A and B are shown apart, each in its own frame.
Chain A
Amino acid sequence: MIEFKEFSFRYREGEAPVVRDITLSIPDGCFVGITGAAGSGKSTLTYAINGIIPHCYPGDFYGSVTVEGLDTVEASLTDISRVVGSVCQDIDSQMVSTVVEDEILYGLENFAVPKDEIPARVDEALGAMGIADLRDRTIDSLSGGQKQKVAVASVIALQPRVLVLDEPTAELDPASSVAVFDLLARYAREHGTTVVVVEQKIALLSDYADMLVIVDGGRIRFADTPDAVLAHSDELLALGVNVPRATTLMNALGAQGLYGGPTVRNVAGAAAALKEVLA
């Protein structure tokens, strides 16, 4: 369970708070997608969960953020990172190793995972991200999608209860993006891991997330199921947040009185709804 209570934060060098009055609970095992326009404060929300705020970026912290009962201000960054695994935006600078296997080992070594457990953990992490065959490759020789999977694998090897990812598919092509989300969602479901992901690709988020959080000007505008959030598609567009084209299509049909069903969030939903309309 992740709980924000009236959380506000102002970076030391900033003039105004970047996020304010955030109150939000994320239940265990929830797959949460956070999105919003550039500078809306969405990354700051993830920093509050993994402790980068206030431990790496100091500033004025109001309210409280607790992760699995851990107060992120009081707990040390290291203690938080035992619970929260983070995949940073800049994958290349996150990598500390030359070879895939070493990258997975790095966190396991640091957290003093017993040596007899390590091989199984490495195997499992590589398997979960579908990259067992990349084990001995140099990281330099990998494609963007493969690197991203290595970054996620190196974090899930630590078996965190919460996984935080900042724009994990920004550099990836659509097929690789879907693959990363697929693997991530499956892993989270099987292990009951809570996933918080910041992402611009709304179509992906709508498809995979249990909860969509829309941030605007440092405040949460919507936090609900994708269907419920996408029902406000006009407001979303006004906030500079895109809407899946399938949703736009069905809403346009709705405006013409040609469709009156529930909000649609992906291609499969639109196709099914249209088949009924045409039947």
Chain B
Amino acid sequence: MIEFKNVSASYDGELAVLRDVSFTVGDGDFVAFVGTNGAGKSTTMRLANGLLKPTAGEVLVDGVPTTALKTSELARRIGFLFQNPDRQICCNTVREELLFGFKALGEEGPAAEERVDAIIERFGFDADAEPYLLNRGTRQLLALASIIVLAPPTIILDEPTTGLDFRECVKVMDVVRELNEGGTTVITVCHDMEVVGDFARRVIAMTGGRVVADGATFDVLRDGRVLKEAHILPPQVTEVSMILGRDEGCPEAIAQADTVPQMVAAIAQELQLEGRAAAEAAALANDVAAALSAETVASAAAVVEAKAMLGDAGADGEGGR
């Protein structure tokens, strides 16, 4: 459990980067911190694992203030994955890298070796590979593996998917989800709102060093005031349902849909209510689609030309902004 009690923090005693932040993350929680660059999210993460000490207030890990915990004790309780895996990786082989944490904590031995073997197997690593020669995604996975091999009860991830391609992103987040389902507390900073929507159960939104919202993921991501204040764009399906919800008479299920399956189910239900009329509309839409798909074969050049014309009109409109 991690508790922030009226925490303020600053670097070098200058301007406060965090002001009066309070929240509690319970065991087994999955929390995402969202907000713009510089909102104070990374600072919050560094406070949570004691890399930074508060200038006011208290950060408690399992009831103990971080100021009273030694580095190694904190490391045992909280695993921290940095945004840039290259800062973390420092050994010559994948195997050494995975053993490094045990060494740092003075816990080498057969039990550690066993855990390392298990994780190499699970991630499908080449144990003798040189970490620097691996590609970015694999390095990120290695950095994550070298943290979770220590089985900390809490893991903190600072933008774990930045710089990864889609497949690598899914791989990393699947591992994280699995850990969370096994009881590990997960705290993550994440800019990818689709990832936040798919994985987090709770969202804390920050701006200018303050917490502006703390609640169930989609309660926060649907709150117009929060979105505006913290400069957040909601996940796309949520945004679509919010737009549709503005229309009068929009069914509640559609206005509240946050995932693709929810939205599909809501629309299916709505259309069935409308019965045959809907079926006819669908048939009509199909015809339109057939007609249009012939057009999409048009060359890129033609599209550019059309866009340029549209663009001129658009530019005039935007000039007023």
- Do chains A and B make direct contact within the complex (CB under 8 angstroms)? yes
Q: Mark B137-170, 1 if CB is under 8 A from A, else 0.
A: 1000000000000000000000000111111110
Min C-beta distance of B315 to chain A, whole Å: 6
A167–B136 alpha-carbon span in the complex (Å): 14
- Known interface pairs A170-B163, A200-B166. Does A278 touch B37 (Cβ–Cβ under 8 Å)? no
Given the known inter-chain contacts A39-B135, A210-B303, A256-B264, please indicate yes or no for A173 contacting B231, CB distance below 8 A: yes
Contact with A along B198-227 (1 / 0, CB 8 A): 000000000000000000000000000000
Are B240 and A175 in touch, CB under 8 angstroms?
Answer: no
A277 adjacent to B267 (CB under 8 Å)? yes
> Could you tell me if B267 and A274 are in contact, using CB atoms closer than 8 angstroms?
yes
**Contact across chains for B286 and A267 when beta carbons are under 8 A apart:** no
Chain A residue total in the interface (Cβ 8 A): 62
Report the minimum CB–CB distance from A265 to chain B (whole Å): 11
Judge whether A16 is part of the interface by a CB distance below 8 angstroms: no
Cβ-based interface call for A159 (8 A): no
The answer to whether B240 touches A249 (Cβ under 8 A) is yes
Residues of chain A lying within 8 A (CB to CB) of residue B271: 258, 277-278
In the complex, chain A residues whose CB is within 8 Å of the CB of B194: 245
> How big is the B interface, by class?
35 or more
Would A244 and B236 be within 8 Å (CB), given that A27-B300, A228-B297 are in contact? yes
Residues 238 to 288 of chain B near chain A (Cβ within 8 Å): 239-240, 243-244, 247, 250, 254, 260-261, 263-264, 267-268, 270-271, 281-283, 285-288
Point out the residues of chain B lying under 8 angstroms from A143, CB to CB. Answer: 37-38
How many angstroms between the C-alpha atoms of A179 and B5 in the bound complex?
35
Find chain A residues with CB under 8 A from B233 CB.
Answer: 174-175, 178
CA gap between A173 and B190 in the complex, in Å: 9
In A228-279, the 8 Å CB interface with B consists of: 228, 231, 237, 240-242, 244-246, 248-249, 252-253, 256-263, 266-267, 270-271, 274-279
A171 within 8 A of B: yes
- Contact B236–A249 (Cβ < 8 Å): yes
Q: Are B296 and A261 in contact (CB under 8 A)?
A: no
Across the interface, A176 reaches (CB within 8 A) one of B36, B136, B264, namely B36
**Interface residue B95 (Cβ < 8 Å from any Cβ of A):** no
What's the minimum C-beta distance from A155 to chain B, rounded to whole angstroms?
Answer: 21
Q: Which 6 A-B pairs have the closest CB atoms?
A: A260-B286, A240-B167, A245-B236, A260-B285, A242-B166, A175-B231
Provide a sorted-by-A list of 23 A–B residue pairs whose CB atoms are within 8 angstroms. A30-B301, A37-B167, A38-B135, A38-B164, A144-B37, A173-B35, A174-B193, A186-B318, A189-B314, A211-B303, A211-B304, A225-B298, A242-B166, A252-B261, A253-B267, A258-B271, A261-B289, A262-B289, A267-B236, A267-B239, A277-B281, A277-B282, A278-B254
